[in-house]
Chains A and B, each alone.
Chain A
Amino acid sequence: MVTKPLDFKGNHNPTWCLGCGNYGILNVLRASMSDAGLSPERTVIVSGIGCSGKVPHFINAYGFEVLHGRTLPVATGIRLANSTLKVIACSGDGDGYGIGGNHFLHAIRRNIGITWIVHNNGVYGLTTGQTSPTSEEGFRSKTTPFGSIEEPVNPLALAIAGGAGFVSRAFVGESLHFRKVLTEALNYPGFALVDVLQPCVTFNKSHSYAWYAERVYKVESTEGYDPFDRSKAFAFAFELEKLPLGILYRRSIPSYEEKIPQIAENPLFSRDISSIDISNTLKEFL
């Protein structure tokens, strides 16, 4: 389907802070949806709670704004009910890697057809600035006034270790590159993680656009780049001084939906349930 980024513009205007990375993510998402040939009517955006959770209201597509941390199970249910839909989930780092961490591990091993965008700004923004699972050690916030004593979670390494089929990272300040990565993710048939580095201009002053810009580089411009090589992907994921961007790892594995014969040809949604005959099953109890 031919669509333009503007076709995905929703009825409402965002209310994020001026300079918030979410504006960039929203624009890139609309552009990539167009690049991937998605149709507004056949796309569902599932979001959690947090500043990232508001995305579906600003996009012309079906949306379900669910609970904090629960984007992936809801998105999973939607895909299983109607596997002809494109399902995109938007979480924050707290939403996806903290409260929803268990769902993250299991969505990976299912390889279900969901594109998961994690708006990763290393802080809880909507709740006015607490430490997050991706906050760096020493990060000072309202809940860690003496500095965080926990190491941050490494979502990319976790995803690669968990067997994810598509693991990528983008930076909102590199929008053209982000757009390419996200379009690739949208075209991937299984579970695709796009961890997006974004500044929170209000509550995470240490990680500004400039801070990220100094550290990011693109994996595809490195020598011998091979996204199918898991050990190389791990090496990228464990780089902490510099921040590699791009598709760190991918592999061709069957999607979850392909392995369920009941939905291989037609989605559940299309079935007629008006008169189901259970008489044969009842006979099993005679």
Chain B
Amino acid sequence: MECNLVIAGEAGQGINVSALNLAKLFTRAGLHTFLLTENPNSIKLEPAWCSLKIADKPITAPSCKADVLIALNADAYLRHRDRVKENGFILCESQESLIDPRCIEVPFGALIKKISAPDLLRNTVALGAFLTLYDVGIEGMKALFSETFGAKGAKIVTQNISALEMGSHTIVETYGAKIKKVFPKEKGSPHYLLTGNDAVSLGALKAGCQFFSAYPMTPSSPVFHFLSAKEREYSLVVKQAEDEIAAMHMALGASYAGVRSMVATSGGGFCLMVEALGLSGQSETPVVVLLGQRPGPSTGQPTRTDQADLRFALHASHGEFPRVVLAPGDAREAFEETFRAFNLAEHYQVPVIVITDKYLAESYSSWEEWNLNNMYIDRGKVWDGGSEEAYLRYRVTLDGISSRAFPGMAGTIHCATSYEHNEEGFYEESPENVKKMRDKRSAKIPFLLKDIPPPRLYGAKDADMTLVCWGSAKGPILEVLRLLAQEGKKVNMLHLVGLSPFPAAKVEEYLRSAKQTMVIEGNETGQCRSLIREETGILSDFAYCQYDGEPLYPEIVVEEVKRVW
């Protein structure tokens, strides 16, 4: 069982709220859901839509096809009618669309007027119609309205319930006999419903992040909002800085003083953070950076998705220093990798960049209960005064990691610095010292390689084609494997999460044993493909690069794979 619903209209019509309420309703009923939201770069009027997939099996990606379209205005009908399947339904009010046999007329505007509710409630009428069309009933949604709108007052709840009933009656009266029954009624196990941003926030809380500073930027702002709301409960300090330059430097200050700290931004904000990324590298001050990608350069497309900042994350800043780059593939990995990021940052005293993108950051997915056991905090080497030797902030060690000490501690007074320095932290330019200290910092890399998540192979080892991807492409490509398997094709997937330091040996091993390879990623220049070539000498046989601001839709990728193979 699978149902794809698209709700389309314009920004400010409450589409996201309605879709999220539906996702909650079905998730609570034990079904799996995936909600993709597409918003314009405006608060009102411009076209907005979202796509909700509901299924009785785990979902890894949205679909570009729809079983049902709710078109809240005529423009939405025109924009989205082509994605509706032949046997699908379109709930709309436009008279013009009545020549389309898939259309079911629901006069949203007229019904809203009947109950003297604000026009904003069109989408609630549509919900009532949809839930009745699919014979889900509207009682569950009524209860959910009390929960979601309760804080806004009883009137809002009552109006929404009336609108819901209006939509439902319309379908019963005009369409009663044909009501479709597709959703299983039995109650399943409880699921979480959350976005990649939610998962990052939870990972940061679990990791003991105590200082978070940022400047608002889509698509990472929801992490900022979430942590701000939890500031007092979790005793962390969240600060809106005057710009990203300040945000990143504040985080480094807090980290220097001994507190786990994080910043969150998108490419444009990361541009401003880059000088401080170098400061983190030179002064060996840990910090976690959430880089939520959106299409650039410059302002680009603020509300769309892209995977074009991989090279930027890998190379940002002048000079050379070890850094960690992690690209989680889904919400669960976003939680785990954010947690891991804090441990790696403090253990290795390096900056750690967690890369998401609008698609992963803002899409909701449902998950069975998460096991939080075996998540341990590793704060790395902190001076305990036990040694006979004097404290040196940048003491050369086998693994390149020196003990940290924090202001307030006795016997460890030192100066951390942005200059090249000696073990003490004093500026020293002798060639011997410079090389020694640079070698000291890069000595961490072989150890880091053992601690970053390795590339992971999904599917049969002996497949005829290996699809290689990184970060958020994981879910869509998993669905591609499933769709191609239905056609009898043996395909597997190699997914990269840890990208710096690059796990070259492991990637090479997988690729050498693959029959054919195709790298699939959301950028124009094949950034991951060229990285693999650079690190392993292997150029994939094929590539598919998507760079149109849209997520990777499995159906489209399947066609691309079949085009070359």
Binding site for B on A (CB under 8 A): 11-12, 40-44, 46, 49, 56-57, 60-67, 70, 72-82, 84-85, 102-103, 105-106, 260-263, 268-269, 271, 273-276, 278-279, 281-282, 285-286
Contacts and interface: CB of A to CB of B under 8 A. Distances in A.
Nearest to A58: B415
Nearest to B250: A77
B408 A64 contact: no
A70 to B, nearest CB: 5
A81 B258 CA distance: 7
Contacts of B275: 67, 70
Interface in B154-197: 190-194
25 contacts: A11-B426, A41-B408, A41-B410, A42-B408, A60-B413, A63-B414, A64-B415, A65-B416, A74-B252, A78-B253, A78-B254, A80-B237, A80-B239, A81-B254, A81-B257, A81-B261, A82-B258, A84-B408, A106-B242, A268-B211, A268-B235, A273-B210, A276-B206, A279-B372, A286-B190
A85 B237 contact: no
B279 interface: yes
B417 A81 contact: no
Contacts of B211: 77, 80-81, 268
A106 B279 CA distance: 22
B377 A65 contact: no
A98 B406 CA distance: 30
A126 to B, nearest CB: 12
A137 B527 CA distance: 50
Interface stretch (B50-58, B82-90, B226-234): B226-234
Contacts of B232: 261-262
Interface residues of B, number: 66
Contacts of B234: 276
Nearest to A55: B415
A70 B410 contact: no
Given A64-B415, A67-B275, A278-B372, A285 B257 contact: no
B260 interface: yes
Contact of A262 (B235, B251, B417, B424): B235
A75 B253 contact: yes
Interface of B: 28, 190-194, 198, 202, 205-208, 210-211, 213, 230-237, 239, 241-243, 245-247, 249-261, 275-276, 279, 283, 370, 372, 377, 406-410, 413-419, 424-427
B418 A65 contact: yes
Contacts of B230: 281
Contacts of B257: 44, 77-78, 81-82, 85, 269
Contacts of B253: 46, 64, 73-81
Contact of B198 (A56, A102, A285): A285
Given A12-B426, A57-B415, A73 B241 contact: yes
B377 A70 contact: no
Contacts of B237: 80-81, 260, 262-263, 268
Given A41-B407, A285-B198, A74 B259 contact: no
Nearest to B285: A64
Contacts of A57: 415, 426-427
B210 A85 contact: no
B235 to A, nearest CB: 5
Contact of B417 (A64, A75, A260): A64
A260 B198 CA distance: 24
Nearest to B406: A269
Nearest to A44: B407
Contacts of A262: 231-232, 235-237
Contact of B245 (A41, A70, A81): A70
A57 to B, nearest CB: 6
Contacts of B416: 63-65
